[in-house]
Amino acid sequence: MSTQGYENKPERPSLLKKGIAALILIVVLAFALKVVIGFVMGIFWIVVGVAVLIALLWALNTLL
Whether 53 is covered by a domain: the verdict is: yes
Global pTM reads 0.61
Q: What DSSP string runs through 13-43?
A: PPHHHHHHHHHHHHHHHHHHHHHHHHHHHHH
More confident residue, 63 or 11: 63
Number of domain units in the chain: 1
Whether 26 is covered by a domain: the verdict is yes
pLDDT category, 11, cuts 50, 70, 90?
confident
Phi/psi of residue 49, nearest 5 degrees: -60, -40
Distance of CA 64 to the CA centre of its chain: 47
- Does 38 have pLDDT greater than 70? yes
Backbone angles phi, psi at 12, to 5 degrees: -85, 145
Residue 63 has pLDDT above 70, yes or no: yes
Q: Mean pLDDT throughout 31-43?
A: 97
Half-sphere exposure of 62 (CA within 13 A, CB side): 6
For residue 62, the enclosing domain spans: 16-64
Residue at 54 is within a domain: yes
For residue 30, pLDDT over 90 is answered with yes
The DSSP output letter for 4 is T
Residue 61 lies in a domain: yes
